[in-house]
Structure 1
């Protein structure tokens, strides 16, 4: 009798290919987006190419790049974060995509606008104002920036569409739209930062209008089968306990317009993937997202490690955590893919070890890895 070990079960479950729009991803392992600030002038260089290609060669099926600023002057706050506009920047990204494909992987850029997280005077465009739905960076504070006009809204929608079209043109396999963690799109979702009284503010459906318009514009700018992934979260960097939805019905009100606008897959960001999202069910946020939308969903949150990823940025390490629970949920089709962050940061060979039954070789997370990112 053949006995299936936990390791071989991991390889079996995670090695299955999956279709996202017109893209076939060779397995269920995703590299989560992680800001690195290693691109002076917003240009990804040789080290960025190596960083992603190394992980693709080791078996990561889909790479989601670090957040990249769209072509709007208020989109970012660092000249070392890569940009997804400009001739030199896009030429750099084309080489990244080429190297990842040569290594056997697939790759999408994460398109990003930070909104009110920006402060006046910050790079890369110091004269650009901080903008958001209501000029608020957090709930219960006074405005510190500019409430977006209709022209501002239109400009940002256009910037996302232009970036997505560029991604397809230079050889990427899809795009991910960053609608999570308290950045611009999430600032519209969240009642705490969206106090508008026009079509972009009000109930949950109205607060999703801005993001849905971005999705629709991106959908129109790319080929019909070019995948659009949408990342969202309940928690915000401004408030870890913040929630967009207290019930599945409230979550449905937010997600349904996005799915209808053209999202092919969702990336449901949580801090610990194993925690249930709503009372009365063991489903996590990704599970509820799949149940509500019927779309493929990526789960994420401390995969392979026993410790909150946010503590990693405070210098704390984390021990290895088994993935049996994750495999159970994948096998039950609660969600479809799993994004791995710190574990892949710690060990570029993480996917290869999991897929080749070498789980015993996985190492605890050392926060010093944040300093190398090789």
Structure 2
């Protein structure tokens, strides 16, 4: 039986009378990586790594092919192109509606995912809670998946959790889905990222990284050159990621919003359907909740629901269907904010106009006016506020109602009155 690469490396290093540290200095490969290879914790070194080790060991030319072949033998063999259940794509939504422009953009980017020396394309899909980011990504992945012969992988990165999985954890899951046995997965994040990029360099894989917390969680998962496509969804704009295609989801156009609601409840009461769609802010999750609420209460008319939603004070309480709650979706974003941004978010609900600028926002927190721009940027980054034209900002109407609820719950009446007076002044 031929030696494994780890044994060959150790024997050759001993023959050259080199310590791991000396070999690391000569080759540019870290001593830890060499140790992992020799102990066979890392069985799939990249070709350039093996070549650098061979040169540092001064292997005779006749011995180099066997050295390289031993490294290749330890690399993972491709499994079937269908991924394991751990990374299987969720089912598409049967009544998916609209987003034609965004689907067309994703299709164009997918067509550009070809073997090339440039980095494989990456698309970020951002937007507020309930805008349909995951639904769009899943819909696109099902539509485009047949073109990706290496399979389609989906991972929920649980970005709103108190402790989302880090990149090292996610890489292990992706490598396993790509056919790498647990024992062959490198122990460290750098090794895992290198192996992942090497696999995607050779395979045409569509990867959906859903619900990303921030750039640090996803940056090591970005591919190098190759024919893959990566789609990232996040409530954050992920402005720190470079060289990515960006899709920002806002509310649906009025016609698409009404169409989505009709597809859920059937063709009934067209005037009331349009009114409910507007009261839901044309937000897909809110429309889904309203539709499900009507379908679970067959004696209700659409007009009855429209009347209930027309009361702003109770609108968010009406947008609940089973475990779907629009306020709960907003709350997950709210808890991610710093204390100054939370305070500003609450108080901005007092603005009597639909949009405002930084000066008006600053009047709501006179104790710390210098932090207003930072707080506004934080709200925009988390898609709780829309950056409008000419330095102005705007709330989605349901988020504004949520901010008003938080204000009532968390600030005494005297402080609310003071903030309102400063804004009016």
TM-score range normalised by the length of the shorter chain:
under 0.3
Normalising to structure 2: TM-score of the pair?
A: 0.21
**Of Structure 1 and Structure 2, which has the larger fraction of its residues in helix?**
2
**Is the radius of gyration larger for structure 1 or structure 2?**
2
Q: Which has the higher strand share?
A: 1
